[in-house]
Structure 1
Amino acid sequence: MEESKKGNLERECIEELCNREEAREIFENNPETEYFYPKYLSCLASHRAGVFRVAAVTPDSPADLRACVKEISNQCSPLPCHKDGYKDCIDGQAKYTCVCKAGWRGENCEEDINECEDFNGGCSQRCSNFPGSFRCLCEDGYFMHSNKRDCGDINECVLHPNICGTAICKNTQGRYECECPEGYTYNSTSKNCEDIDECAENICAQLCVNSPGSYSCYCDGKKGFKLSKDMKNCESVTECIPLNLEKNYQLLYLAEQFIGIPVLYLKFKLPNVTRFTAEFDFRTYDTEGVILYAESLDNSAWILLALRDGKIEIQFKNEFGTKVTSGGKAINDGLWHIISVEELEHSISVKIAKEAVMSINSPGTLFKQSQGFLETKVYIAGLPRRVGGALVKQINPRLDGCIRAWNLMNQGHSGVNEVIQEKQSKHCLVSVGRGSFYPGTGMAAFQINYDNLDSAEDWLINVTLTIRPSTDTGVMFALVSNETVPLALSIVDSNSSDSQKITVTIGNIIVAQLESKKLCTPRRVQVGLLVTKQELELAVDSHTDRSNSEQLSTLHQAMMANVVTYLGGVPDVPLGATPVTAFYNGCMEVKVNNRQLDLDEAISKHNDIRSHSCPLIMQ
C-alpha cells in the first residue's frame, strides 16, 4: 500500500506537478491532503523554478524537491517523540504514534512512570524511581539478592568476628548488638563491657555496695531494719512473739552492769548497833554471783553473801581470821526465797524462808564500833574494784537475779526505793522463765578454742542452740575475724508469712538453709550446726541440710588464725561482710563443743542481755 502511494506521489507530484484534487486522490483522505498540500507548495517554491511563493529555507531544509516532498508525508520527521522515552515512531495519516519504552508513557512518551507507587515496585524494602525505570535498594545491614528485589540480613557477627571486642555479638535483623552480662554496659569506644555502678543511681533505700556486675542492698540491722522482699527497700524487723516485759521498781535487778560492779552502794553510821543484819526476798535462775558485800570503813573486815552452785555461800574476814561456808538447798529455781543473814553473839546465822540453813562460828564481832557508832559500807550485787583478789575463795560476781523487800541493818528499805524508782535499768521483770534473753539491742562475745583434740581434724565447730525467737530476723551465732564474718548462723524472714529460715553464711554467701514453721512459736526449737573443714551440716527440727561448699576453705583459713565468737549479733563490720546484721531478739541457750556457755563468763556482753532469765510470752 505504501509502495503504491509512494509511486503515485513520485509520478504525480514530483515528476509532474499535482493540484489539490490530485493530491487528495493520492492520500484518499482530507486530513492528510490538507496537511500535505501547503507544504508541497513550499517545496515547489524552494526547488522548482517558475513557482512564485516565498520559500522558507533553513540549513536543515531538504536538498532537492524529491527529498522535500517525501518528508512532508512522514509525520515522524522531524521526530515528535521524547527522545529518552520513545522506542519507535509510527507514521500515520496526518498523525504519528510514539511507541514508548518500558517506564514511559504519554502521547510523545514524555512522562516517566513511577513504578514505586505500584506495590513499591515489587521491592522488599526501598524503591528508588528514576526516568524510565526504578531500582530496589536495601537498608543498612542488608544485602540485595540476585533477583534484584529482595533484601537479606547481613550477619555482622560472622562477617566481623571481633566487631564487639570483649562483648558478645548478637545478630539482629539489619543490625547487630553488643551484649554484656547483667550489671555491665557496653563501651562502643573501647569495645569493652564496663561495670554499672548501680549504687550511683540510689537504687537502695539505705545502704548499697557495688560489686563487679552486681550490687547489694543492705539495711541497718543494728537499728532494727531488715531487707524487704524486693531486695532494695528496708522494713522494720517484725515481732512474731510478743513478750511480757512488765517491770516493777520495787524489784531491784542485780545484773544492771555486766562489769560486775555493785548496783547499789549504801553507807550506814548507826548508834547503839553492834551487829550486822540483812533480810530480803531473792529470786534467780543463776548458779553463781555476789548478792551482797559489806565492809568496815577501813576495809579491814568484810562479809560476802553469794551464790555458788545455786546455794548460799558466806565468806567473811575480821580481826580473828577468815572463813568460807556454803550450805542449804539450791535456791536458783526462779522462785522467791526469803534470805536472812544475822550476826549473833558468837556466830553468823543464815536462814532461808525463816529456817536456819547455816550457823557459822564467829569469834568476836564482824565490825567494830567507833565512838559509839557502827559504820558500815554495803554493796548490792557486785564487788568494789579493789576487792576481787582479796576474797578467800574467788567467785564470778555477776549475778542475774532480783531482790525485794530488803531490810539492811534493821533500817527497812533505807530510802532505796526512791533512788531506783526513776531508773528503768534497775527494775526487775515481774515474771521470768529459765534461759538467756537477747533483747535485740546487743551481743555477747566469747574467746573459744575450737581445736579438735579428739580427732585428726584441725578444728571442729559443734554448736547446739535452743531458741525461742521473738522477732523474725537476727544473728544468733557468729565467728568474726578482724573485719570478716567467716561463719554466721541466723534466723531470717522467708517469703512465707508463717515460716522463717535458719541460714548459715560464710562471708556474704549462704551455704546452707532450712525453712520451718515452728521457729516463731511459743515452743523452743533446737538448732544444730556441725562444721569441719570438709563438710557443714545444719539441723533444724529433725530436718538436715549438708554442704561441702568451696566456701569452707575461706572458713578454714579464718580458723587457722584467730576468731572471736559472738552470740546475738555481730560487731561493726564493713558493708557486705555478712548479709544479716540485725541483733537476735528472743530466748537462747548455747552449747559449743559440748560446753554450755554461761553469759556471765563472756569477755563482753551488752548490759540489756539477761544471762539467766527470759521474759514470759504475753498471754
Structure 2
Amino acid sequence: MGWNWKTMTVGLLLVLGMLGKGAHGGGNGRGKKEISGAGVFYLGQDRDTWRPLVQITVNLSEITDVKSRFQLRTFDPEGTIFYGDTKSGEDWFVLSLNKGFPMMQICKEGMLLSVTGGPKLNDGKWHTLEVSNQGKFVVLVVDGTQPLVVGLKPKEKDEPLSGVLRLALGGILINTENLLVQYKPQMDGCIREGIWLNLTLPWETEEEEMWQCHENIKPGSYFPGKGLAVFNSSGGHIHTVITLEFWGDFKEMDGTICSIKKPGEEPLFYLTADRSAKVSVTLTFGAETIRMQPASSRLRITFHSDAVKVHLDREESSAMIPVSDPGYADMWAVGSLSIGGLLGEDDTGTQFLTGCLEKIQIQGKNLDMNLAFNEMSIYSHSCPA
C-alpha cells in the first residue's frame, strides 16, 4: 500500500493530538515508561542525538480526526519537533526548525521533498502551529497567518487506510542519511496544549525522569549543576590574542564556569564561581590565582603569548597572570574547552556549574552549545527567567 496524503496528514495530526497538560508515567511490561498524552514536553532532554524523546505506534484504522494544533516555544534555531512514518520507515515525514524557520521533509515512494518557510519561531514566545490536510496538500499555519504548503500527487491511486503508523517526538526513527536536508537534531524547546484527534493511547519513553519546561525563559544556557559542554579548543598556538568572554550574573553562579586541559593532564586553566563568598569569581592558571567580585555582567579573558589578562566590562585590564608554563603555548591547539564543569585527567567532569550564562563568545563569535561533542545535561539556549 502507498502512503496517500490523508495517511500522511493523519500521522502529523496524531502526534500533535497526544500533547497536553501533564505527563504521568507508568509501565508497559516492555521496560519502557508510559507517558500520558496530556503533557508539556521538553524536547532537549539528554539522550542519543537522534533518538526520540517519546514515541507511539497506532493502527491507522483507529484515527478519525485529521485536524491538529499545538504550541511551541524555543530560542533554539534548529532541531526536531516530530516525526511520523508508515511501512516501517519507507514513507516518512519530519517537522523541524532550520535557522529558526519551520521545515518539513517528506519521503514518499522513494521521492524526497523538503520545504522551509513561514515566520521565524525561535524568539522565546509561544507560537500556535496548526497542521491540516487540503486535498493533495499539507498546510502548516503559524499563529493564524503565513501558511507553509507542501503538495505531492503520487502516481498510484489512494487506497483505504490500513496498517500502523509510528510517531515520535523530538527525534526520528530512520537513518539520518535518508534526510534531504541535514540539521542538528536536539532542540531546547517545549511543546504544550495539543488539541487533536480522538485517541488517548499513552506514549512510550526510555527516560526515567522527564525534564521540566521552565514557566518563563530568557536567552542563554542554563546549567542545573548536573553536567557540562566540552569542545575541541582547536584555536591554534597562542601567537595571537585569543579572547574568551562570558555574560551573566556571576553573583548567582556556583561551580566551574569553564576549564581548559590537554589530553591526559589536569586542567591548566579554570574559572570558578562561589555565590556564598564575598569574592565570587576565581581564575586559576597553574599555581596562580586571581579573585574578583564582578560588579557587572560581563567578564573578558584574553590569552596572550606571555600572559593571561582579565577585563571587567571596560577595555582596561583589571588583573594579569604572567605565563611561563611550557604547556601553555599549545593549550588551545590540542586541548579541550569545557563550559559548566571541571574536566579531570580522565576526561570526566566535576564541580558542575549551577546558573545561567547569558552569552559565551570565543574570538567575538557566539559559542553554540549544540556543537559540544558530549551529552551536556544543560539547557542549551534558554535560562529560567
Note whether the superposition's TM-score is higher than 0.5: yes
Match of 2:167 among 378, 400, 405: 378
Which protein is richer in helix relative to its size?
1
Cα gap change, 1:590/1:324 in structure 2, threshold over 3 Å: closer, same or farther? same
Q: What pairs with 1:455-470 in structure 2 (closer than 5 Å)?
A: 458=239, 460-469=241-250
Match of 1:434 among 211, 219, 235: 219
The 3-state SS of whatever aligns with 2:322 is coil
Q: Aligned residue for 2:294?
A: 516
Q: What pairs with 1:453-602 in structure 2 (closer than 5 Å)?
A: 458=239, 460-469=241-250, 471-481=252-262, 482-492=264-274, 496=278, 500-510=279-289, 512-518=290-296, 525-542=297-314, 544-559=317-332, 562-573=334-345, 582-588=351-357, 589-602=359-372
The AA in structure 1 aligned to 2:268 is P
TM-score when normalising by structure 2: 0.79
Instruction: Tell me whether 1:605 sits opposite 2:371 in the alignment.
Output: no
The AA in structure 2 aligned to 1:257 is D
The 3-state SS of whatever aligns with 1:394 is coil
Cα gap change, 1:484/1:465 in structure 2, threshold over 3 Å: closer, same or farther? same
Q: Deviations over 1:309-337 (max 9, x none)?
A: 11101111102722111111111111111
Structure 1 position 528, deviation (Å)? 0.4
Q: What pairs with 1:87-486 in structure 2 (closer than 5 Å)?
A: 249=23, 250-260=39-49, 261-271=51-61, 278-319=68-109, 321-364=111-154, 372-384=161-173, 386-407=174-195, 410-411=197-198, 414-416=201-203, 424-451=209-236, 458=239, 460-469=241-250, 471-481=252-262, 482-486=264-268
Return the alpha-carbon distance in structure 2 between the equivalents of residues 515 and 554 of structure 1: 29
Contact 1:311 1:330 in 2 (8 A): yes
The AA in structure 2 aligned to 1:323 is L
Return the alpha-carbon distance in structure 2 between the equivalents of residues 367 and 297 of structure 1: 17
Contact 2:251 2:274 in 1 (8 A): no
Structure 1 position 551, deviation (Å)? 4.1
Return the alpha-carbon distance in structure 1 between the equivalents of residues 42 and 135 of structure 2: 33
Return the alpha-carbon distance in structure 1 between the equivalents of residues 363 and 74 of structure 2: 27
Cα gap change, 1:376/1:556 in structure 2, threshold over 3 Å: closer, same or farther? same
Return the alpha-carbon distance in structure 2 between the equivalents of residues 606 and 400 of structure 1: 12
Contact 1:466 1:526 in 2 (8 A): yes
Which protein is richer in strand relative to its size?
2
Q: Aligned residue for 1:31?
A: none
Structure 1 position 434, deviation (Å)? 1.6
Cα gap change, 1:413/1:586 in structure 2, threshold over 3 Å: closer, same or farther? farther
Structure 1 position 583, deviation (Å)? 1.8
Return the alpha-carbon distance in structure 1 between the equivalents of residues 157 and 126 of structure 2: 30
Contact 1:297 1:377 in 2 (8 A): no
Return the alpha-carbon distance in structure 2 between the equivalents of residues 564 and 509 of structure 1: 20
The 3-state SS of whatever aligns with 1:604 is coil
Structure 1 position 365, deviation (Å)? 9.8
The 3-state SS of whatever aligns with 1:383 is coil
Contact 2:306 2:323 in 1 (8 A): no
- Which structure is larger by alpha-carbon Rg, 1 or 2? 1
Return the alpha-carbon distance in structure 2 between the equivalents of residues 339 and 297 of structure 1: 27
Q: Aligned residue for 2:32?
A: none
The 3-state SS of whatever aligns with 2:193 is strand
Q: Deviations over 1:451-471 (max 9, x none)?
A: 27xxxx535431111122474
Cα gap change, 1:274/1:345 in structure 2, threshold over 3 Å: closer, same or farther? farther
TM-score when normalising by structure 1: 0.51
Contact 1:275 1:343 in 2 (8 A): no
Pairs aligned (count): 344
Contact 2:234 2:332 in 1 (8 A): no
Cα gap change, 1:441/1:483 in structure 2, threshold over 3 Å: closer, same or farther? same
Q: Deviations over 1:414-471 (max 9, x none)?
A: 435xx78x9642432222222110112211101132127xxxx535431111122474
The AA in structure 2 aligned to 1:285 is F
Superposition RMSD on alpha carbons, in Å? 3.2
Return the alpha-carbon distance in structure 2 between the equivalents of residues 424 and 365 of structure 1: 46
Cα gap change, 1:334/1:304 in structure 2, threshold over 3 Å: closer, same or farther? same
Return the alpha-carbon distance in structure 2 between the equivalents of residues 345 and 365 of structure 1: 15
Return the alpha-carbon distance in structure 1 between the equivalents of residues 122 and 372 of structure 2: 20
The AA in structure 2 aligned to 1:360 is V
Gaps of 5+ in 1: 1-246, 519-524
The 3-state SS of whatever aligns with 2:329 is helix
Return the alpha-carbon distance in structure 2 between the equivalents of residues 489 and 507 of structure 1: 12
Contact 2:103 2:117 in 1 (8 A): yes
Return the alpha-carbon distance in structure 2 between the equivalents of residues 284 and 367 of structure 1: 40
Q: Deviations over 1:349-380 (max 9, x none)?
A: 1111233521122113999767x425211110
Gaps of 5+ in 2: 1-20, 24-38
Cα gap change, 1:248/1:480 in structure 2, threshold over 3 Å: closer, same or farther? farther
Q: Percent identity of the aligned residues?
A: 20
Cα gap change, 1:358/1:476 in structure 2, threshold over 3 Å: closer, same or farther? same
